[in-house]
A and B are shown apart, each in its own frame.
Chain A
Amino acid sequence: MTTQIVPEQLDARRLLCPLPVIRTQDRVVEMRAGDILAVCCSDPGARYDIPAWCRINGHKILEISEGNYEFTITLEVGEDDAFDS
């Protein structure tokens, strides 16, 4: 039997960027590597900015879905060592 991981949910609707990124950043700080977070947004810019923020901070985008003027971006929290040099 497999265990389904239920993502944590973050409602960032009605927020203009960069607020969805800031809310995502603040939530991810409290999570552990491997945890899953689903962020619901209405600003089209979040579709680009949250993935960009994930790339530079070492988190992985699992899925982006959209409908009814909203986007849900699902990410997996990575290790805290992206770009450390």
Chain B
Amino acid sequence: MAKVKAVALISGGLDSLLAARVVLGQGVHVEGINFFTGFCVEGHTHAIRKRDSEKPKRNNALWVAEQLGIKLHIIDVVEEYKDVLLNPKHGYGANLNPCLDCKGFMVRKADEWAQAHGFDFLLSGEVIGQRPMSQRRDTMPVVARESGAGERLLRPLCAKLLPPTLAETRGWVDREQLHGFSGRSRKPQMALAEQYGFTEYAQPAGGCCFLTNREYSSKLTDLWRAQGNREYELDDILLLKVGRHLRPRSNFKLILGREEGENNYLRGYCKQFTHLHILSHHGPLGLIDGSANHDDLLLAARLAARFCQGRDAEQVEVEVHEHEGESWTTMVRPMPASEVLREWYV
């Protein structure tokens, strides 16, 4: 008889690690799937910043797959995800996080992948009551139904609190060896992790998505407001993760690297943007997002100078490279802190 095969939705956190491990332990062949929406929080996205260099530079989903000894398929869903973010049937959480629609979308994509590749069922690390939107007793059936996965979706960590699914009724897994976790406490998961010998695992505060982050959501809202529509491209949303963003005038935004690592990253965008280099002192690389006239660029130069090591100097030399235009240098007086308005910070 062919071995039963399951696809595990792997976020990189503890719950999906444990859910996959529980099913692996029952002799099922498990492979992982992970979706890249563009909004994913990755340990080393922060490690662009050199000051965060002590943090592990790893993709947690890959790390989990390696701990489990399973393959991981990472799927780019950036384009398809736009509709989830822009038109969530179930609305947003506290910020721009469409968690319930997002979960339904990912389960649907995983189910489509599983069926296309000859897998028998799929599993996720959801726990009843763990999350306020997508992991409630009343919303779990919504995810299973609206994703189309229905009873092909097994939640090994709380299965005993839910009706039996296909994997259980067909005898592919033993329901008695599944779990009945519920609530926000992590203690049962931590005990199970210890039982399996997992001593290290990711515990991301606020989940694995930037859309749950208030500051990030504010930057995305600002982007949409400035461009007059709610469209976005991948570069737009990646840049929101990097640097200090200030909008001193409605027609442009200044993105400033906060340290060398961010400057290095922003340097990759110099061909696409008007940008500023501080010549006389160590300081940020600045990108101008929007349409800026000469007066705007002088303002941006003073603002950039405010965040360089010459902030207290009388004059700072700044080189301005206009997009598809000329380059010029100017001496500016760094803007004093008192002139940098709080509302400029995006």
Contacts and interface: CB of A to CB of B under 8 A. Distances in A.
A44 to B, nearest CB: 6
A83 B44 contact: no
A16 B45 contact: yes
A18 B42 contact: yes
Interface residues of B, number: 35
**Interface majority SS on B: helix, strand, loop or mixed?**
mixed
Contacts of A19: 36, 76
Nearest to B58: A48
Contacts, number: 85
Interface string B197-222: 00000000000000000000000000
A18 B40 contact: yes
Given A45-B47, A53-B62, A85 B29 contact: yes
Contacts of B71: 56-57, 82-83
28 contacts: A14-B268, A14-B269, A16-B42, A16-B241, A17-B42, A17-B44, A18-B36, A18-B59, A18-B62, A22-B36, A22-B74, A22-B75, A42-B264, A42-B268, A44-B48, A44-B261, A45-B43, A45-B58, A45-B59, A49-B44, A49-B58, A52-B66, A53-B62, A55-B66, A56-B69, A83-B69, A83-B70, A84-B29
Given A21-B59, A42-B264, 20 more contacts: A13-B268, A16-B45, A17-B44, A18-B34, A18-B59, A18-B74, A19-B36, A21-B62, A22-B76, A42-B265, A45-B42, A45-B57, A45-B59, A49-B58, A49-B62, A55-B66, A56-B65, A56-B66, A56-B70, A56-B72
